């Protein structure tokens, strides 16, 4: 079988590329890569394998130079005769930013870019499966403290915390306009953070929030609110298995589910002893986030109840340099606070029934494998482009 992969140099896409390359039933993997030349594209793909010392097969991994959001992408792909025999498409590429400043770009990549791929895919005579990687969080912000099943989404009436989840919902709804239902496979990962193995992370996406929690130690979020988190290697294995097995459904959550979910308290307590020089993690009511902003502005008369956490405030003064830096962190963390407090768990019984994978390890168990990388993460960079 011949496979076409988008997002091959990204966080999940890179892990998928390595995992797919190990499958003997896949003959060629054509990768859409944003680059100025084939040589540059090749170098980017080689880096994906070099990062963890994985075996690279140049005869199997073939770059296709192109940009997902280019208006002429469909004609570019049609011009490659070798792509006419594609059997499988895995659409992993997406702009996952939570920043409102990126909303237009997010829509261009996640909606227009998908449309470019679908316009090409619909005419492929040998296409068996179009696998669309969405997100479990398309369910929106109105469903709280509940186990959510696949059939509850997409719901066009859902309200979204960020544009990213909205565009992924629209993406799912677009698929059937271009392809027959029997060729569509949708997988919805929950929150992907870190790697279950002791490896250099391909990206600090999401992991930067744990690094920020570890840095700040005083956090305005419900510590017991349930969070559905999985490691990237588990997500890649699950997606690969679903692509290549006989399936009973056309939509699957790739998630921790009820048995492997976690919460902020479990994750922070797990890493706390590795940083004894820092004060203990302290969780406070979400409403104190505003008091923290007042503190960052120097409005000490307005910090109210926050004043009793003087140990943490003195610690902040010692690490921040300028108080205004706290406002940068909070601006980036705000949507993550929102997602955490939703308490959403995504049912994974379909996945566990149809593939032979075990249940994933909870984040508070595997996260110790990522500890050595936490302090090297630039949390301000993460906050500026969350």
Q: Could you tell me which residues are beta bridge partners of residue 2? A: 28
Q: Can you tell me the distance from the alpha carbon of 270 to that of 194, in angstroms, rounded to the nearest whole number?
A: 15
What are the 10-residue block averages of pLDDT along the chain, 386 residues in total? 98 98 98 97 98 96 96 96 98 96 96 98 98 99 98 97 98 98 99 93 93 97 98 98 97 99 98 94 95 92 92 96 93 97 98 97 96 92 90
Task: Answer whether the bond into residue 239 is a cis peptide, omega within 30°.
Answer: no
Alpha carbon distance 262, 297 (integer Å): 34
pLDDT of residue 107: 98
Domain boundaries, the chain: 2-189
Superfamily, domain 2-189 = NAD(P)-binding Rossmann-like Domain (3.40.50.720)
pLDDT score recorded for residue 198: 85
**Residue written as tokens 């919460």?**
263
As given in the structure block, the two tokens for residue 17 are 């590329």
State residue 201's pLDDT score. Answer: 85
* Pairing label, strands 262-263, 226-227: antiparallel
The SS3 call for residue 157 is coil
Q: Which of 59, 58, 68 is nearest to 89 (CA)?
A: 68
Quick check: 126 and 86 in contact, CB under 8 A? yes
For the whole model, what pTM was predicted?
Answer: 0.96
Give the residue among 179, 94, 36, 135 at the shortest CA–CA distance from 339.
135
**Cα dihedral across residues 52, 364, 316, 335: positive or negative:** positive
Specify the pLDDT at position 385: 86
Residue for token digits 């949708």?
186
User: What is residue 182's predicted lDDT score, i.e. its pLDDT?
Assistant: 98
Residue of 77, 78, 75, 70 lying closest to 113 (CA atoms) = 70
Strand partners, 88: 3, 129
pLDDT value of residue 301:
86
Instruction: Measure the CA–CA gap between 349 and 147, rounded to whole angstroms.
Output: 11
What is the predicted pLDDT for the residue at 160? 98
Q: What is the pLDDT of residue 307?
A: 94
Separation CA 59–CA 359 (nearest Å): 34
* Upper half-sphere CA count for residue 301 (Cβ side, 13 Å): 0
Per-residue pLDDT, 155 = 96
- Cα gap 106→124, rounded to integer Å: 27
């Amino acid at each position: 079988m011949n496979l076409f992969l988008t997002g091959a140099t990204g966080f999940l896409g890179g892990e998928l590329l390595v995992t797919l390359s190990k499958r003997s039933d896949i003959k060629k993997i054509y990768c859409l890569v944003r680059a100025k030349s084939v040589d540059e594209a090749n170098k980017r793909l080689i880096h994906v394998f070099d990062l963890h010392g994985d075996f690279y097969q140049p005869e199997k991994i073939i770059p296709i130079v192109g940009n997902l959001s280019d208006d002429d992408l469909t004609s570019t792909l049609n011009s490659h005769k070798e792509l006419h025999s594609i059997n499988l498409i895995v659409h992993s590429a997406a702009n996952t930013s939570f920043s409102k400043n990126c909303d237009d770009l997010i829509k261009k990549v996640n909606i227009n870019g998908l449309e470019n791929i679908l316009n090409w895919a619909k005419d492929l005579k040998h296409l068996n499966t179009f696998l669309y990687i969405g997100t479990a969080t398309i369910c929106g912000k109105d469903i709280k403290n509940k186990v959510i099943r696949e059939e509850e989404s997409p719901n066009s009436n859902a309200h979204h915390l960020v544009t990213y989840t909205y565009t992924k919902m629209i993406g799912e709804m677009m698929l059937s306009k271009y392809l027959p239902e029997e060729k569509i496979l949708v997988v919805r990962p929950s929150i992907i953070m870190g790697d279950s193995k002791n490896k250099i992370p391909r990206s600090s996406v999401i992991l930067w929030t744990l690094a920020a929690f570890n840095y700040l130690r005083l956090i305005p979020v419900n510590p017991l609110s349930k969070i559905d988190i999985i490691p990237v290697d588990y997500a890649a294995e699950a997606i690969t298995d679903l692509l290549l097995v006989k399936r009973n459904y056309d939509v699957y959550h790739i998630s921790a589910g009820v048995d492997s979910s976690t919460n902020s308290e479990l994750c922070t307590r797990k890493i706390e002893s590795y940083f004894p020089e820092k004060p203990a993690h302290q969780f406070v009511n979400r409403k104190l986030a505003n008091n923290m902003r007042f503190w960052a502005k120097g409005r000490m008369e307005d910090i109210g109840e926050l004043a009793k956490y003087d140990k943490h405030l003195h610690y902040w003064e010692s690490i921040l340099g300028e108080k205004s830096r706290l406002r940068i962190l909070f601006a980036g963390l705000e949507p993550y606070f929102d997602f955490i407090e939703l308490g959403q768990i995504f049912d994974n019984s379909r996945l566990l029934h149809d593939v032979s994978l075990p249940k994933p390890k909870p984040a508070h168990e595997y996260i110790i494998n990522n500890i050595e990388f936490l302090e090297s993460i630039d949390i301000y960079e993460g906050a500026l482009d969350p």
